[in-house]
Structure 1
Amino acid sequence: MTHHILKATKETVHLGGFSHKLEPALTIDSGDTVDVETYTGYYVYDKAPPEFLTPEFVDICQNLSPERKVAAGPHLLTGPIYVKDAEPGDVLEVRLEAIAPNLPVGFNAIRTGWGALPQKFTQPALRFIPLDLIHNIAEFPTGSGIKIPLKPFFGILGVATPETSRISIPPGCYGGNIDNRELQTGSRVFLPIFVPGGLFSIGDGHSAQGDGEVNVTAIETSMNGRIVLTLRKDLQLSTPIAETATDIITMGFAQTLDAALEIAVKNMIDFLERFANLSAEDAYVLCSLAVNFRITQVVNSPQKGVHGMLPKSILSHKINL
């Protein structure tokens, strides 16, 4: 297997969405490892403190070509990565081997009309938050003594679809802006593939986030990672699933939390039928007895997210994904 380094430059990033028409930033074989660099804050860089800025990031913000501006989303994504022999109907396994902030500062933004309480918090607000990368914490508010543990993850892990362009804000069957804080180092994410090569992109680094991401953003952070991309022709999925050290995760995305919960439950039942050999009714009961359903995010309009967490410790045998 080959090891690649994918730096974030104006030639290797794209803005605002996914598109199968983008020129790949990297082509790899299944099972290759990629050290990937991501930046965030394209639309706030002119307000950022010096420690948020690198020459490469400023060059991206000032000189990104129109061809790399896909849609109106705010996210700067690294990729896409083309996986040889990947075809529609296959599954891409993304193993997250390392995730770490690459700058000692992130930001949080309230955006007018967005968030869980848009009528109460009507004014935009932007805060840059220092990151203590030695002690792995962020103090917020500064001077308050409130110390938030840094638990970094990538908010966006997604593949391209047949549409010419797809905005990066809502998640969906292709992954995208999942914003699931459980997907930290050591996790695996499984994404259905829709176009040749898969065309995987990554970004939207978060150093810390609560379930729900209620004010629209987390501590948005430029992030480095090491990922392994493996083509899985032995799996068929219609929606993403994930695995952490402790849990199997199914996901539901819909315009209401009720609908997202229903989808997440149905997806967990389907998973238990396929991989644990349970009847649908027994799986439904088990969901009520032992699966934890949590709000992923409520802000990625028009799709809210709910995820179900099945503790692997309750299973009598290991499920091999």
Structure 2
Amino acid sequence: MTHHILKATCQTVHLGGFSHQLKPVLTINPGDTIDVETYTGFYIYDKAPREFLTPEFLEICQYLPSEQKVSSGPHLLTGPIYIKDAVPGDVIEVNIEAIYPRLPIGFNAIYPEKGALNKRFSEHKLRFISLDLEKQIAEFPPNSGIQIPLKPFFGILGVATPENRSSVPPGNYGGNIDNKELQAGSRIFLPVFVPGALFSIGDGHSAQGDGEVDLTAIETSMNGRIKIQLHKALELTTPVAETPTDIMTMGFGQTLDAAFESALQQMINLLQHYVGLSAEEAYVLCSLAVNFRITQVVNLPQKGVHGMLSKAMLPRAIAL
């Protein structure tokens, strides 16, 4: 297996979405590991304080080639990464081995007509929030004594599809999932839709509450180490994930009801396939022991719900 270093530059990032027409910036074998850099804040860099900016990030913001501006989404993504032998119908497994903010600062933004309470909070506000990387906390509001633990994760982990897509809504290809459970030590399984999968990553968050209600978390330029595996026999049509403590299914829909029903159905299917329960037994177990949580309500038109099944309850490990 080979270890790669993928830096974020004008040649290795793309803006706004996913596209099967993008040229891969890295080709790997299944099982390879990658140290990956990501940046965030493309559209607010000119309002940012000096500590938010690096020469590499400024170059991206000022000189990113037009052909790498895929769609209208605000996210800078590193990739796409081509996985050898991956074909439609396969599944890639992305192991998140390490995640850490690359700068001691992030931002939160409220935008008009966006967010869960966009009529009440309708004024554009941009806040830069300092990160104490030694103590792994952020204090907000400043000088309030309220300390938010840093729990970094990548908001976007996704693959390309035959259609170009905005980076804003999540879907069965992954994308802007914004699931705070996907921290270091977790892994996510994504269906493959185009040859090579064309995996991209970005949208670093240092801290986020379930729901991400004002539209953004502490948005942070983030580095990490990932390992990508390839599965030929897994029959998945939507993302599934595993944390150190839980198995997780994800549902997306234009309403929370639809997203919840999707996450519930995916959990029932998983329990049938991997644990050997009947559909009715799985349905009852979901009512007794599975925790369904709101992932995010702001990445329109798709809202997200995820179901968490504690691995400690199971008599044996699920072999995903």
- Name the structure 2 match of 1:311: 310
For residues 10 and 236 of structure 1, what CA distance do their matches in structure 2 show? 36
For residues 95 and 30 of structure 1, what CA distance do their matches in structure 2 show? 12
- Name the structure 1 match of 2:197: 198
- Tell me the secondary structure at the aligned position of residue 189 of structure 1: strand
For residues 109 and 269 of structure 1, what CA distance do their matches in structure 2 show? 37
CA shift, 1:320, in A, is 1.2
- Name the structure 1 match of 2:17: 17
For residues 101 and 320 of structure 1, what CA distance do their matches in structure 2 show? 32
Look up the equivalent residue of 2:202 and give its one-letter code: G
Pairs within 5 Å for 1:207-286: 207-286=206-285
For residues 49 and 310 of structure 1, what CA distance do their matches in structure 2 show? 42
Look up the equivalent residue of 2:48 and give its one-letter code: A
- Name the structure 2 match of 1:170: 169
Greater CA drift, 279-288 or 229-238: 229-238
Look up the equivalent residue of 1:126 and give its one-letter code: L
**What do residues 190-216 of structure 1 show as CA deviations (whole Å, max 9, x unaligned)?**
000000000000000000000000000
Look up the equivalent residue of 2:69 and give its one-letter code: K
- Name the structure 1 match of 2:160: 160
- Name the structure 2 match of 1:104: 104
For residues 128 and 21 of structure 1, what CA distance do their matches in structure 2 show? 35
Runs of 4+ displaced beyond 2 Å: none
Pairs within 5 Å for 1:64-103: 64-103=64-103
- Output the TM-score relative to the length of structure 2: 1.00
CA shift, 1:119, in A, is 0.6
For residues 20 and 259 of structure 1, what CA distance do their matches in structure 2 show? 28
Pairs within 5 Å for 1:138-153: 138-153=138-153
What runs of 5+ residues in structure 2 fail to find an aligned partner? none
CA shift, 1:234, in A, is 2.0
- Name the structure 2 match of 1:302: 301
- Tell me the secondary structure at the aligned position of residue 42 of structure 2: coil
For residues 25 and 185 of structure 2, what CA distance do their matches in structure 1 show? 25
CA RMSD in angstroms, aligned pairs only: 0.4
| Aligned sequence identity (%) | 73
- Name the structure 1 match of 2:291: 292
**What do residues 180-239 of structure 1 show as CA deviations (whole Å, max 9, x unaligned)?**
000000000000000000000000000000000000000000000000011111212100
CA shift, 1:276, in A, is 0.3
Aligned residues: 320
For residues 8 and 147 of structure 2, what CA distance do their matches in structure 1 show? 30
- Tell me the secondary structure at the aligned position of residue 269 of structure 2: helix
- Name the structure 2 match of 1:120: 120
What runs of 5+ residues in structure 1 fail to find an aligned partner? none
- Tell me the secondary structure at the aligned position of residue 244 of structure 2: coil
CA shift, 1:157, in A, is 0.2
1:50 paired with 2:50, answer: yes
